[in-house]
């Protein structure tokens, strides 16, 4: 198991999406675009790649295969239940299973998860990466989104939700695998998730 700490994290391993999460104080938001591609063809424009888990107290988004990601969402939610909603422990448990379980090892996706307390990237290599400032982006447009989010977080007073939207728009302008049909979820001060422009079905 490898745990890495980084100020910002961008891992653009998968084509077809951009996911970004931003944290400011006790507020956190996570969003993604809706485009799904098959080779060089757009097959869907309004897929929903982010969702709330554990009674709305945890946000999660994926980059990679949709079917694989749905399997990981289900497994991660089971881990949250097993660890009483502790996101860090659930993330480590999922990463361990993902690396060692034969049925999970071939899954091609990355997960970004966030609660009010912490943000993590989980990979099939056994990595659990926690960015120190809670600024995280994955997917093909992640470098663009991360750069935008970093600047907006440092030089503006925009909310996490607003920064996520602006960063996804920047990625959509520059990355052909990212579109402007976005879904953004945020955690309110009481820790409950609420959708903002809730996008399409998975």
Catalytic site includes residue 17: yes
Choice between 68 and 20, residue whose per-residue pLDDT is larger = 20
* Average pLDDT taken over every residue of the chain: 85
pLDDT value, residue 189 = 59
Q: Which of 9, 17, 178, 183 is catalytic?
A: 17
Task: Tell me the whole-structure pTM to 2 decimals.
Answer: 0.84
In this prediction, residue 2 carries a pLDDT of: 41
pLDDT band at residue 196 under the 50/70/90 scheme: low
CATH superfamily of 2-196: Aminohydrolase, N-terminal nucleophile (Ntn) domain (3.60.20.10)
| 100, burial (CB in 10 Å: exposed 0-12, middle 13-18, buried 19+) | exposed
Using DSSP, state whether 21 is helix, strand or coil.
strand
Map out the domains of the chain as residue ranges.
2-196
In this predicted structure, the answer to whether residue 34 has a pLDDT above a threshold of 70 is yes
Helices (H), the chain: 66-82, 87-100, 102-105, 142-155, 160-174
- The position carrying tokens 């424009």 is 45
pLDDT at 86 > cutoff 70: yes
Q: Is residue 8 over pLDDT 80? A: no
State how beta strands 2-11 and 127-139 pair: parallel
Q: What Cα–Cα distance (Å) separates residue 134 from each residue in 6, 97, 141, 181?
A: 9, 24, 18, 24
Burial 172-190 (b: 16+ CB within 10 A, else e): beebebbbebbbbbbbeee
Mean local confidence (pLDDT), 155-175: 97
For residue 7, the model assigns a pLDDT of 41
């Amino acid at each position: 198991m490898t745990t890495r700490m980084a100020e910002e994290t961008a891992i653009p391993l998968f084509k077809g999406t951009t996911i970004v999460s931003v944290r400011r104080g006790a507020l956190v938001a996570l969003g993604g675009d809706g485009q799904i591609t098959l080779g060089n063809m757009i097959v869907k424009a309004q897929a929903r790649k982010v969702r709330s888990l554990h009674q709305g107290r945890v946000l999660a988004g994926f980059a990679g295969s949709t079917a694989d990601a749905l399997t990981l969402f289900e497994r991660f939610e089971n881990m949250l239940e097993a660890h009483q909603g502790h996101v860090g422990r659930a993330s480590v448990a999922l990463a361990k299973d993902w690396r060692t379980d034969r049925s999970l090892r071939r899954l091609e996706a990355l997960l970004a998860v966030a609660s009010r307390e912490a943000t993590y990237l989980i990979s099939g290599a056994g990595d659990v990466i926690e960015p120190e400032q809670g600024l995280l982006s994955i997917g093909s447009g992640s470098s663009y989104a991360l750069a935008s989010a970093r600047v907006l977080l440092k030089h503006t007073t925009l909310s996490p939700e607003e920064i996520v939207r602006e960063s996804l728009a920047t990625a959509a302008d520059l990355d052909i695998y990212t579109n402007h049909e976005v879904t953004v979820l945020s955690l309110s001060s009481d820790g409950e998730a609420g959708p903002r422009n809730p996008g399409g079905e998975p």
